[in-house]
Each structure stands twice: as structure tokens, then as C-alpha cells.
Amino acid sequence: MEFSNKIIIAIDGYSSTGKSTLAKKIAKKLGYIYVDTGAMYRAVSLYALQNDFISKDKFDKNSLVSNLHNIELHFQYNPELGYSEMFLNGKNVESEIRSLEISNLVSTIATVTEIRQKLVEQQQKMGINKGIVMDGRDIGTVVFPNAKLKIFMTASSEKRAQRRYKEMIDNGENVTYESVLENVNTRDYIDTNRNDSPLIKAKDAIEIDNSELSVVETFEKVYQQVLRKIVL
């Protein structure tokens, strides 16, 4: 569907609330670009892991920061999948960045101001022509504080862990439900308590708790809000 007045749609919220599923569906319906900013933080985490700057028990933040200029990130549209995949220094890392190992490191990486500045600048450039749906933690508060529509997604941590666990098992990962729940809770804590751009609901964001909503019901609810903003 094409509307002439293109807007920016910011979708923020807790991990595993279905932000990216929702954002992809909205972008597809509107013919907008979809940007998964979590993938960018995950790709930086993969770079840090591969270069031995971070592991389970250490983080050499200074070395990572002084190597930031060696990290090139871009999205490439995959017509078969219908969305863009994350490339790190020319390599498709879309599947590698979804592992539990990366999920356990990414919130620490996302606390670093120099990394956030680099990624936020890149994200703002992607939104210059509007017609974009971007999901993350700071999109409505920091990246696009003037976004026309802001959605803030929540759901109980147990529901979120159940969904993420199923997704990982379906992808062939060897994980336990308890380890996924622990990851969800730890990330919530770090994401909401960090000093730089913590996860908070923007004043003008519409909050949606989808603990008891299906993917289709969540989409319908948000799409009503989209239409109000585009048609008005």
C-alpha cells in the first residue's frame, strides 16, 4: 500500500516482545524500509568477540573503541526473505548474530557511548527520506525524537522467554528455557539501567502489552494507529 505522506515509525521496547516481527509486517504493508537496530549492536558484538575484545569474563572496551573505524555495517535487501540482512565488513552475519552467545554480550556492548554515537548517526542517515520503520530501544527517544508514530512494546518476561526459546529451538540451537529466561531478565536490567540512552518509554509513545495478543492481533492494533497518522 502506498501513501504519499511518508512518516517515520519508531518501535521500542523490551527484548523479545516481537518488535521486529511487527516492524517487518508494518514496513511490508506500507512499502517502507525496515531497520533492525538491534542487529547493528549485535554485529558490533560479533566483531568484538571475533577480535577477542570481549568474552564471558572480560571486556577490553578501549581496544574496541579504538578499532571502531574498522567496523563497516550495512543492510542488504534479500528479496527471497522480504527484508534486509546484516553485513559486517562485507560478510552476511544475519544468522551468527542471533546466537545466545551474542545475546549474552550485546547489552554490555550497547552501554558504550562511542558505539552508540556511531550507530545512531548511521541510523539517522537512513531516516532522511522518511518511509522507515525502525525498531530498537532508543528510537523514539534519541534517534528520532520527532517520529510521527512511536510504539512501546512490553510483555511479561516469561512470555518473552517462551517465544525466544521456541525461536531458538526451531533454529536448531541447543539452549534451555531457563538460560533464555535468565538472558531476557539480565538484558532488561542492563538496557533499562545504563547511563547512555536507557530503555524508557517516550512521553508520546503508545504502549502495547502483547503478553496475551497474537502476532496478527498485535499487528492490527498497531496498524490502526499507523492509519490514523498517515490518513490524518
Query: Which of 81/227 has CB closer to ligand DC?
Result: 81
Containing 225, the helix (H) or strand (E) segment is: helix 215-231
Cα 48 to Cα 63: distance, rounded to the nearest angstrom:
9
Nearest to ligand DC of 111, 230 (CB atom): 111
How many Å apart are CA 214 and CA 210, to the nearest integer? 7
Burial call 210-228: b when 16+ CB within 10 Å, e when fewer:
beeeeeeebbeebeebbee
Helix locations, the chain, DSSP H: 19-30, 37-50, 61-66, 100-109, 113-126, 157-170, 177-193, 215-231
- Interface with ligand DC (CB under 6 A): 15, 37-38, 41-42, 106-107, 110, 136-138, 187, 191
Shortest gap between Cβ of 68 and ligand DC (angstroms)? 16
Residue 159 or 230 having the CB closest to ligand DC: 159
Q: Which residue has the cell 535468565?
A: 182
We find the least distance from the C-beta atom of residue 222 to ligand DC, in angstroms, to be: 17
The distance of closest approach from Cβ of residue 154 to ligand DC in the complex, given in angstroms and rounded to an integer, is 14
CB count, 10 Å around CB of 28?
14
Amino acid at 147: A
The least CB distance from residue 83 to ligand DC, in Å, is: 14
Q: How far is the CB of 159 from ligand DC (least distance, A)?
A: 15
Nearer to ligand DC among residue 107 and residue 226 (C-beta) = 107
Q: Among 231, 225, 232, which residue's Cα sits nearest to residue 204?
A: 225
Pick the closer one to ligand DC by CB: 30 or 106.
Answer: 106
